[in-house]
Amino acid sequence: MSQVATAYTPPAEQSLLRAFDRAGRIRFPNPDVRAAGVVDHKGMEVRLRARDDDELDDLRYALVAVGLSPGRPYSHGRGWVIPLYGKSAVQWFLDRRPGTERVTRHAPRRPPPRRRVAAR
């Protein structure tokens, strides 16, 4: 009986990749703004979503365990968003999820909704 060698993935890394696959986003700088010569302070960012306080604590612990430093989490809807700033954090996720390219693009802004004027 032959055994197939499988790659071992640490549990902390597995939980981060599951969270990223479920609701992770990567933000890249807008190339149009940079090409126009406008000073753009927005860099690369990964956003992970936690459903509750327990998952938030687990993800923050896992991020530190793999050597990434999470930013300050903020509440969003019924859960939490954990930002990770910098090229190294983005590259960590891109290396482990080949084929994941620009997950989040800067979409064109929608015009504001038209308001109806009440008849008098």
* pLDDT for res 8: 67
pLDDT above 90 (res 70): yes
| pLDDT bucket at 118, cuts 50 / 70 / 90 | low
% of the chain residues with pLDDT over 70: 67
Across all residues in the chain, what is the average pLDDT? 80
Of residues 83 and 44, the one with the higher pLDDT is 83
The dihedral sign for the CA sequence 59, 61, 64, 70 = positive
- Per DSSP, the residues of 34-59 read HHTT-------EEEEEESSHHHHHHH
pLDDT above 70 (res 91): yes
pLDDT above 80 (res 113): no
* pLDDT for res 89: 92
- In tens, the pLDDT along 19-67 reads 998 888 888 877 776 666 666 667 789 999 999 999 999 999 999 999 9
**What domains are defined for the chain?**
11-96 (3.10.28.10)
Determine the Cα–Cα distance for residues 41 and 23; give it in Å rounded to an integer. 25
